[in-house]
Amino acid sequence: MQTDFAKESALYQLWLEHAVDDPDLISELESIRGDNDAIRERFYRDLEFGTGGLRGVLGAGTAQMNIYTVRRATQGLADYVNGSFAEPSVAISYDSRIKSDTFAKAAASVLAANGIRVHLYTELMPTPMLSFAVRALHCSAGIMVTASHNPAKYNGYKVYGADGCQITLDVANTVINKIKAVDIFNDVKTTDFEEAVANGMISYIQQDVIEDYYKNVLAQGINTALCPDSGLKIVYTPLNGTGNKPVREILKRIGISEVTVVPEQELPDGNFTTCPYPNPEIREALEYGLRLCDQVQPDLLLATDPDCDRVGIAVPDGQGGYALFSGNEVGAMLLEYICEQRTKLGTMPKDPVAVKTIVTTDLVKAIAAEYGVRLIDVLTGFKFIGEQIALLEEKGEENRYIFGFEESYGYLAGTYVRDKDAVVASMLIVEMAAYYRTKGISMMQARENLYSKYGVFKHRQESFAFEGVSGMHRMQEIMQSLRTDAPKEIGGLKVIESADYLTGLFTDAATGETRPTGLPKSDVVSFFLPDHASVIVRPSGTEPKIKAYYTTTGKTMAQAEALEEKLRADMQKLLKK
Q: Of 311, 43, 305, 49, whose CA–CA distance to 182 is shortest?
A: 49
b vs e for 106-121, b when ≥16 Cβ sit within 10 Å of the residue's Cβ?
A: bbbbbbbbbebbbbbb
Strand partners, 15: none
Q: Which of the residues 148, 426, 526, 534 is marked catalytic?
A: 148
Say if strands 300-304 and 258-261 run parallel, antiparallel, or are unpaired.
Answer: unpaired
Cβ-proximal residues to 52 (8 Å cutoff; 6+ apart), any chain: 158, 159, 166, 167, 172, 381, 383, 541, 542
Residue 155 backbone phi and psi in degrees, to 5: -145, 170
Q: How far is Cα 437 from Cα 417, in angstroms, rounded to an integer?
A: 30
DSSP-assigned letters across all residues of 241-292: STTHHHHHHHHHHTT--EEEE-GGGSS--TT-TT-SS--TTSHHHHHHHHHH
Q: How far is Cα 199 from Cα 563, in angstroms, rounded to an integer?
A: 64
Q: Of 546, 545, 542, whose CA–CA distance to 155 is shortest?
A: 542
Instruction: Judge whether 148 counts as a catalytic residue.
Output: yes
The HSE-up count of residue 574 (CA atoms within 13 Å, CB side) is 26
Q: Of 204, 208, 242, 210, whose CA–CA distance to 122 is shortest?
A: 204
Q: How far is Cα 308 from Cα 121, in angstroms, rounded to an integer?
A: 15
Q: Of 148, 140, 133, 66, whose CA–CA distance to 102 is shortest?
A: 66
Q: Of 479, 467, 508, 471, whose CA–CA distance to 574 is shortest?
A: 479
3-class SS of residue 494: strand
DSSP-assigned letters across all residues of 227-248: STTS--EEEEE-TTSTTHHHHH
Q: How far is Cα 527 from Cα 283, in angstroms, rounded to an integer?
A: 28
Q: How far is Cα 337 from Cα 323, in angstroms, rounded to an integer?
A: 20
Scanning 141-258, the segments in alpha helix (DSSP H) are: 169-180, 193-198, 207-218, 244-253
Q: How far is Cα 372 from Cα 339, in angstroms, rounded to an integer?
A: 9
Q: Which residues are catalytic?
A: 148
